[in-house]
Amino acid sequence: MIPKNYPRVIIEAVQPQIDCGRFPIKRVVDEKVVVSADIYKESHDKLAAVVKYRKHGAKVWQENPMVFVDNDRWQGEFEVAEIGPWEYTVEGYAERYLSWVDEITKKNVPGAILTSELLEGLAILKTSAGLAKGEDKAQLNAQIATIEGMMADEDQEVAIDQAICSTMQRLMAKYPDRSEGAECTPALQVYVIRPITRFAAWYEFFPRSQSTVYGQHGTLQDSRRRLADIKQMGFDVIYLPPIHPIGHAFRKGKNNSLVANPDDVGSPWAIGNEHGGHMALEPKLGTWSDWDQFVATCRELKIEIALDYVMNCSPDHPYVTKHPDWFYHRPDGSIKYAENPPKKYQDVYPLNFGTEDREGLWKEMLKIFLFWIEKGVTTFRVDNPHTKPVSFWEWVIAEVHKKHPQVVFLAEAFTKPKMMRLLAKAGFAQSYTYFTWRDSKQDLTDYVSELTAGPMKDYFTGNFFANTPDILPPILQIGGRPAFIMRAVLAATLSTVYGIYSGYELCENEPIPGKEEYLDSEKYEIKQRDWNAPGNIVAVITRINKIRRERPALHNYNDVAFLAADNPQIIAYYKMTADRSDIVICVVNLDPFGKQSSFIHLPLEKMGIREDEQFQAHDMLSDERYLWSGRTAYVELSPSGKMAHIFKIYRW
Stretch touching its own copies by CB under 8 A, among 383-391, 538-546, 556-564, 603-611: 383-391
Smallest gap, in angstroms, from Cβ of residue 507 to its own copies? 35
Catalytic residue chosen out of the listed positions 177, 204, 383, 522? 383
Smallest gap, in angstroms, from Cβ of residue 222 to its own copies? 37
**Which residue in 59, 60, 109, 532 binds its own copies (CB under 8 A)?**
109
Asked whether the beta carbons of 178 and 93 are under 8 A apart, the reply is: yes
Smallest gap, in angstroms, from Cβ of residue 69 to its own copies? 13
Respond yes or no: is residue 412 known to be catalytic. Answer: yes
Q: Which is nearer to its own copies, 365 or 620 (CB)?
A: 365
Number of residues binding to its own copies, judged by CB under 8 A: 49
Under rule CB under 8 A, residue 113 binds its own copies:
no
Under rule CB under 8 A, residue 332 binds its own copies:
yes
Q: Which is nearer to its own copies, 417 or 603 (CB)?
A: 417
Under rule CB under 8 A, residue 388 binds its own copies:
yes
Burial of 203 (0-12, 13-18, 19+ CB in 10 A): buried
Count CB atoms within 10 A of the CB of residue 542: 15
Q: Is 384 annotated as a binding residue?
A: yes
Q: Read out DSSP for 6-27?
A: ---EEEEEEES-BGGGTB-EEE
Smallest gap, in angstroms, from Cβ of residue 392 to its own copies? 7
Q: Which is nearer to its own copies, 18 or 298 (CB)?
A: 18
Q: Is 45 annotated as a binding residue?
A: no
CA 239, CA 229: separation in Å to the nearest integer?
A: 15
Angle at 362 between CA 361 and CA 363, to 5 degrees: 95
Q: Is 524 annotated as a binding residue?
A: yes
**Closest by Cα among 130, 44, 59 to 94:** 44
Rg (CA), the chain: 31
Q: Which is nearer to its own copies, 14 or 621 (CB)?
A: 14
Under rule CB under 8 A, residue 120 binds its own copies:
yes
The distance in angstroms from the start CA to the end CA of the chain is 71
Stretch touching its own copies by CB under 8 A, among 196-204, 250-258, 337-345, 484-492: 337-345
Smallest gap, in angstroms, from Cβ of residue 336 to its own copies? 9
Residues near 137 by beta carbon (within 8 Å), at least 6 away in sequence: 129
Q: Which is nearer to its own copies, 133 or 330 (CB)?
A: 330
Binding residues for its own copies restricted to 21-60, rule: CB under 8 A: 38, 40, 42-44
Count CB atoms within 10 A of the CB of residue 68: 14
Under rule CB under 8 A, residue 392 binds its own copies:
yes
**Closest by Cα among 104, 106, 202, 115 to 430:** 202
Smallest gap, in angstroms, from Cβ of residue 359 to its own copies? 6
**Closest by Cα among 454, 452, 407, 414 to 428:** 407
Under rule CB under 8 A, residue 70 binds its own copies:
no
Stretch touching its own copies by CB under 8 A, among 79-87, 317-325, 381-389, 587-595: 381-389
**Which residue in 60, 116, 166, 215 binds its own copies (CB under 8 A)?**
116
| Distances from the Cα of 318 to the Cα of 121, 354, 374, angstroms | 78, 20, 22
Q: Which is nearer to its own copies, 153 or 332 (CB)?
A: 332
Catalytic residue chosen out of the listed positions 236, 308, 412, 522? 412
Mode of pairing for the β-strands spanning 181-183 and 84-94:
antiparallel
Q: Is 284 annotated as a binding residue?
A: no
CA 190, CA 429: separation in Å to the nearest integer?
A: 12
Length of the chain: 652
Respond yes or no: is residue 31 known to be catalytic. Answer: no
CA 213, CA 225: separation in Å to the nearest integer?
A: 13
Residues near 411 by beta carbon (within 8 Å), at least 6 away in sequence: 382, 385, 386, 420, 423, 424, 428, 430, 431, 432
Smallest gap, in angstroms, from Cβ of residue 6 to its own copies? 4
Binding residues for its own copies restricted to 344-373, rule: CB under 8 A: 353-354, 358-359, 362-363
Under rule CB under 8 A, residue 244 binds its own copies:
no
Under rule CB under 8 A, residue 416 binds its own copies:
yes
Cis peptide, bond prior to residue 16, ω within 30 of zero: yes
Smallest gap, in angstroms, from Cβ of residue 122 to its own copies? 9
**Closest by Cα among 515, 428, 439, 509 to 463:** 428
331: DSSP letter: T
Q: Which residues are annotated as a binding site?
A: 252, 347, 384, 523-524
Annotated binding-site residue numbers for alpha-maltose 1-phosphate? 252, 347, 384, 523-524
- What are the residue numbers of the active site? 383, 412
Site residues, its own copies (CB under 8 A): 2-3, 6-8, 10, 12, 19-20, 38, 40, 42-44, 71-72, 103, 106-107, 109, 116, 119-120, 123, 330-332, 340-342, 353-354, 358-359, 362-363, 386-392, 395, 416-419, 422
